[in-house]
Structure 1
Amino acid sequence: MAHEKMTLHLETGDVEIKLRADLAPGHVERITTLAADGFYDGVVFHRVIDGFMAQGGDPTGTGMSGSDLPDIAQEFSAEPHVEGTCSMARTMDPNSANSQFFICLDDAGFLDNQYTVWGEVTSGMEAVHALPKGEPPAQPGAIKSITLG
């Protein structure tokens, strides 16, 4: 089932994201599958760098893990990494995205064409900016739940 949007319910507020299946159908499918399964519920943003990005999606909260599903191949595009861009985290291997993602807190053009953009925040960016900062934050902000559609 294709979804056009999803809402992250964070401790800091709700964040509505327009899903970009036109850019990254495989990544949107992965994110929405995990979200529908409740995978992200309670997962923290383990790396939040002011002026750069907020990263989450690792159930261990360490940034070293992902889901039990296989990694997915990159779907790079020319879509720019600007404030509100939702993109997949990965290792040095471009085809290692799994469940971790980040939301840009500011323009990060140096990431363009190197990370897969799968969505864009359409409302609630203030809730992303309000996440506790750190690598990791002392008291990391968490995803309470995600609503699809």
Structure 2
Amino acid sequence: SDQALVMPPPWPHIFAMNIIWCLDDVHEANGATRYLPGSHRYQSAEEVPADAIERTVEFEAPAGSFIAMEGRLWHTSGKNVTSNEHRRMMFAYYSSDFIRQQMNWAFTLPAEVQAGMDQKTRALFGLMPAGNTRIGAAMTAL
């Protein structure tokens, strides 16, 4: 669950979405993303069964498709057991505006890079804490 990485339990609401664009055909043999059916209803990590990996199933999709899954869905990578197939995918993670993304850009981007960003870019990277939330300051037009 990607939402579990950025939000403490319980998880009664959807606060994040994953979008996976399939650049190649994706199937079990070339390592399709696997998910645990029904796991989007879990309220905490304690509800994940001990045999969760054995219960997972794969998302299969042709190239050009996308997979949308809410952030509470427990998932993992599959293993590419082919000798000649790629499984290229692009991932995008979207979250509510009051949740910091999985990557904390304030700590990972060098200060000199941050200093060279305009206000809009800083906001997109979550570097304006008061401007990225509904709490503490008015939203500014970017």
TM-score normalised by the chain length of structure 1: 0.25
Q: Which has a greater percent of strand?
A: 1
**If each structure's helix is expressed as a fraction of its own residues, which one has the higher value?**
2
Q: Normalising by structure 2, what TM-score?
A: 0.26
Q: Identify the structure with bigger relative contact order (alpha carbons < 8 Å, sequence gap 6+).
A: 1
